[in-house]
Amino acid sequence: MTAGQTDTARPAVARRPFAGRRLLRRATPYLFALPLLLFIAVFTYIPIASSLNLSLREWNFLRPDKPFVGLENYRTLLSQREVWNALRVTVIFAVISVPLRLGLALMIASYLVRETLPSRLLRGALFLPSVTSTVSIAVIFSWVFATDGGLMNAALTSLGGPKVPWMQDPMLALCVLIAVNTWKQLGYDVIIYIAGLQAVPPELYDAAAVDGGRRWHVFRRVTVPLVMPTTYFLLVIAVIEAFQVFTIVDVMTRGGPAGATDMLVNMLYRVGFTLFDIGQGSALAVLLFLLLIGLALVKSRILGRRVHYEA
């Protein structure tokens, strides 16, 4: 090999790794994100696309073919009173349970924000239902609220009160579900609110105290606006959870009595996996998806402006 040959070969050899490294550098973030993107694609985007496709077809798991029926499944669903009933019940559930959850959580968090031993113990106790199996909770509360032999009615009758048909009265059954769901989710909301409250600069409270602000006014004028980002985050989560509530309802009431607690997701499950109408089940899933997207947009329009991330 001559020196000249070596000279001419050198730049070529040097360029190749340079170009490769540049490409690699550009691709590195994407490569890191790739496993997660693949995971999301396989378990989220492909199922969404698949649901959309199935919602336009007639299929019951057993048929080898899936004929295209256009918007027929949507038309059939929207003409069924059960769907409107499920939507009404879900909206009532959300409208009552979301403010209840957030209001209670903020009040409790305001008291538990102090770093004392009882406060820490109470935080742990409140968080426990959040990490307890929903099915176990639902089974236990089914017994608590049983009309005959239930703990709640045993307590009421021992005090001379009447037996209350908790799970048979349409309104009471819904109230019981809201109460159980609130009890289960409260701990999570409280912990998030405590984190939000701890980020509020203490000088603001000192200034309010110097100005002679009463406790309620300080809470309303200082605490509430400054934890708005937390409230907004919890609101988004709570609304989605309220519209997707399933396990508690399925175990405790199965949508009963007579459809009084039938939520959209319970209906979706029933249509898809009890009545085996996958087309209509998928159409209902798409409608629920659109409803949640719509609600998220409305929330961001209305509340987004009131959320300030700087104190």
Partner 1 sequence: MASMGRNLLSASAIALCAASAAAADVQVEFWHSFGGGGGKALDTIIADFEAANPGIDIVTEHVGNYNDIVAKLQAAIPANRAPDAVILEVTRYGLFADSGVLLDLTPYLDADPLKADLFDFAREVGVYEGKNYIVPFNNSTPVMYYNREIMERAGFAEEPAPKTYDDLLAVSKTVTEKLGGEGIYGIAAPGQFARWGLIMSNDSDLIDSVSGEILIDAPNTIDAYKWMSSLVHEHKVASPDGVTDEDLGKDAFTAGKVAINLGSTGSYGGYVKALGDKLEVRPMPCNKVCRVPIGGAGIGILASAEKEVQEAAYKFVSFAASAESNAKWFAATGYMPINRKTAEQPVAAEALATQPGIRVAIDQLPVAKGRPRPPVVTWMRSTGYDMWQAMALGQRPVEETLTDFAARTREEAKRSQ
> In angstroms, what is the minimal distance from the CB of 274 to partner 1?
5
Element (H, E) at 262: none
Residue with tokens 């701990």: 187
Closer to partner 1 by Cβ: residue 148 or 203: 148
Q: What is the dihedral of CA 282, 284, 289, 290, to 10 degrees?
A: 120
Residue 167, SS3 per DSSP: coil
The sign of the torsion formed by the CA atoms of 212, 214, 217, 223 equals: positive
> In angstroms, what is the minimal distance from the CB of 199 to partner 1?
46
Closer to partner 1 by Cβ: residue 237 or 251: 251
> In angstroms, what is the minimal distance from the CB of 64 to partner 1?
9
> In angstroms, what is the minimal distance from the CB of 42 to partner 1?
15
> In angstroms, what is the minimal distance from the CB of 286 to partner 1?
20
Q: What is the DSSP string of 67-86?
A: -B-TTHHHHHHHT-HHHHHH
**Residues forming the site for partner 1 (CB under 8 A):** 60-63, 142, 146-149, 165, 167-168, 170, 253-259, 270, 273-276
> In angstroms, what is the minimal distance from the CB of 146 to partner 1?
5
Closer to partner 1 by Cβ: residue 187 or 272: 272
Closer to partner 1 by Cβ: residue 8 or 53: 53
User: How many Å from the N-terminal Cα to the C-terminal Cα in the chain?
Assistant: 72
> In angstroms, what is the minimal distance from the CB of 278 to partner 1?
9
User: Of the candidates 272, 304, 300, 299, which has an alpha carbon nearest to the alpha carbon of residue 285?
Assistant: 272
User: Of the candidates 60, 51, 46, which has an alpha carbon nearest to the alpha carbon of residue 273?
Assistant: 60
Closer to partner 1 by Cβ: residue 146 or 292: 146
Closer to partner 1 by Cβ: residue 213 or 257: 257
Residue 68, SS3 per DSSP: strand
Structure tokens that stand for 117 in this block: 């031993």
User: Of the candidates 227, 208, 226, which has an alpha carbon nearest to the alpha carbon of residue 218?
Assistant: 208
Closer to partner 1 by Cβ: residue 42 or 297: 42
CB contact at 8 A, 280 and 77: yes
The residues, any chain, with a CB within 8 Å of residue 266's CB and separated by 6 or more, are 86, 246, 249, 250, 254, 255
> In angstroms, what is the minimal distance from the CB of 170 to partner 1?
7
How far out from the chain centre does Cα 158 lie?
A: 39
Closer to partner 1 by Cβ: residue 149 or 212: 149
Distance, CA of 193 to CA of 243 (rounded, Å): 22
